Structure 1
Amino acid sequence: MRLVRLGQQPSRVAEDIRAALASIGRGSNVVGGLALIGPRPLPTAKPVDAIMILPRGVIVVVGVDLPDPAMRLEAPLSGPWKADGWPLVSPDKAVNPAATALTLADSIARRVREKTPDLPVGTIVAVGPFVETVDQPAADVAGSTRVLHPTPTSMLAAAVSLPSAKAPCTADEVRALLKVLAPEAPRLDSEALASEGFASEGFTAERGAEDPLSAITVKLTQVPPPAPKKSRAPVPASAVPPLVPPPKPIEVTTPVPKINIPLAPPEQASRTVRWLPVAAIALLAVMLVTAIVLATTGGGGEQAAPPRPGPSPTPVSQAVQGLQFLKRDLAGDPNCAAHAYGDVQASLQRAPCTMMRRGSFESSIDGRAVAVSIAVVYFNDEATAAAFKTTADTAGGGGIGDLATETGKWPRTPQFAGAAYTSSVTSTAVRLVLATWFDGASSSADPGLNQVGHAALNVQLT
């Protein structure tokens, strides 16, 4: 599958969507096709996360951000959603958080059917930041919409299970679809489209014709009836093969290092074995004499009291703009890319930093506790720092992981999904700040969180 990046994806789960699609790789060995990232097929609506133009169908991928991670999500298409048993209320009072996204996907599907009426169109609702299990009613699963957390496995399974045509799209049909769905996409030649599994311009097979692959499958699954049994002479038991097949050899893909242990000559080894009982008896005698001496000479002295453990260090707090910031963890590391993800990580791999300092702090505003994650990234020159800040400020472009979450230093682990984001650049140093509530869902537009985030721009990481 060839990725064509057109614009910024609108959801926070977009990073997982893009990573899952990129993992499929180019070519038609897996599913083939094109993945349009961030297209805007409807000028009056916002962009969608992705549109997959497969050789035998089109899939619209819409992202839906949940307030928190969930272990189990109940996600009926026309009913209320529940995360771990708790109802999910949409901000616009819709029936469920995906209602608006599904409406947009339906509008795009109608445009596709206008151009290619026989081409099936499906929808993937990608939810995040993380969901372990998604439950859909059987009636919804039988349709053309899947709700899932976007991983390479789940995205590929949905692409394969959704309805597909029996004949592949031609290169001309793909270009016609691109004019409707993404007019700004670069033109792809016939060779590039053929490598992704699309048919050439001269392909004239009807879409209702039988798919050669399905015919092969049918032939493979047809088992001929067993032949009539003939009477045979008794076979000796020793000649009967075992019912359980012999185990297959284990394939070792990683070379096992050889460890050479020098062995003592036989005479030396036997001599050592003979002396072991004597050495053990001598050692026991020495220990017994030592115990008697200590017992007879230490009775009259006063036993020293064991040292008392000192008080645990008090977390350091600093006041900035009338707010208190209580330090939970602080560390530096020159390997910046190891702690980043998404486009931010890719940027740090292309232009490495000289040092990164991270800090996790706890603050409060209006009586509510706030978790604050700070990262300061240092570069060799101002131009590189400015370019990195542009990447970090782009919605859906990734970020830097929280330190205390990695080290387990939070007394209660916060969730940074929906956190308020703030950044600044000073010469060659770029500071990124995330602020989130401990006790509820966060929003990037929350005035309280933004006030804490702007104050954190001046917190000292020393």
Structure 2
Amino acid sequence: MRLVRLDAEPTKVGADIRAAISAWGAGDSVLGGVAVFSCRPPGAPRPLDAVVVMPRGVVVVLGVDLPEPALKVDAPVHTPWTVDGWPLVRAEGAVNPALEALESAAALARSLQSRDLEPMPVAAVVVVGPYAGQVTQPTTDLHRGVRVVAPNTTSILSAARELATYERACPVEPAQQLLRVLDESCEFSAADLVEEGFPESGVTDLASADTMLIPKFSESLTTKFTESAVGRRLTRPAVLLAAAAVLVVLLGALVAWLVFGGTAAAPPPPSAPVQRVDGLEFAQRTTGREQTCAPHAFGDVQRWFEQHPCRGLTRAVFDTRVSGQPAAVAVAIVELPDEQAARELRELAERAGTGGVTDLVAEGGGRPDGFADAAQVVQQSGAEVRIVQTVWRDRGSSPDDVELRALAERGLRLTPRP
């Protein structure tokens, strides 16, 4: 990640943002791109702490200074925030910083569109400081392309990775033009941007290239072939031989149809249901629905279920790939009688060493390699709690793995299908 600092940080937490992004280092080994600090893109309602231009997306970063360190921040988009149960009061800026960040992202997207630049998605990250122990967002807000995080390297990196999911990498030339929109002084050579993961202009992205379908056989195609430059070199006997070969194939197909009674071949087995989240494909391998939760949990969570029965439990296992590496995702959706019970379960499941819901793999379904040392994310929405676990399939996993935690965040948006 290359760094450009244009001015002093517009917020106090801006220094933490700059330090967190600087820790990613140059090159694309962690997250390639260019971070422009303290800039104000055309149409933005206020100066931004950073704009991060990556090969597969642009993220505007907005800093929010809290009056003091907070244990819990509730950060919806359309209603006022609360900090440790109290409404957020700000001397400057909108009462709802998430909405302000989305407006900044929309303004930058309009500026790029008006200049006919690469149609890169522009998302927003709001960083709250000096400290936030827990930040919660409604699930619907996550779909809007905004993340609210604490001011640390892991949180900001995970958010940027989740949001930079354009279908193909932005080439060097459009990236140079995009950076000049932020500020005329943002000049980088093609070699610099290639090192940051931007492909050279004119290089075909095979991951997004359209494939050519082979046309069906027809008499007109045969005529065209025989009249082509290659066909003109063929002698008349050669053309007759080719026609005879086609006739043999057709006769063979007819004989096979007569031998097997004219029955059509059995249709192939249905493929696994596939869902797409932020550019990643998730293939569902197994699913299950239970009416009780205690028999399918362990530790303190199991004891909690014995005293607070659930209304239903839905679980599923998905396969996916992250940067070419195979991974597995276990999703558990717990339905509870009321929101208070859901809040208690979420708080219990978020604490380390308190147990959890047993994944289908551990009960003999899905993948055989299990979810040991998985990264886990817990989310509450009303009377429902989602617990997502992620692991690498061909190498060791860790609960603190940044990529696995980002994958678990995506897993919150998966819907198990029967």
TM-score (norm 2): 0.48
TM-score (norm 1): 0.44
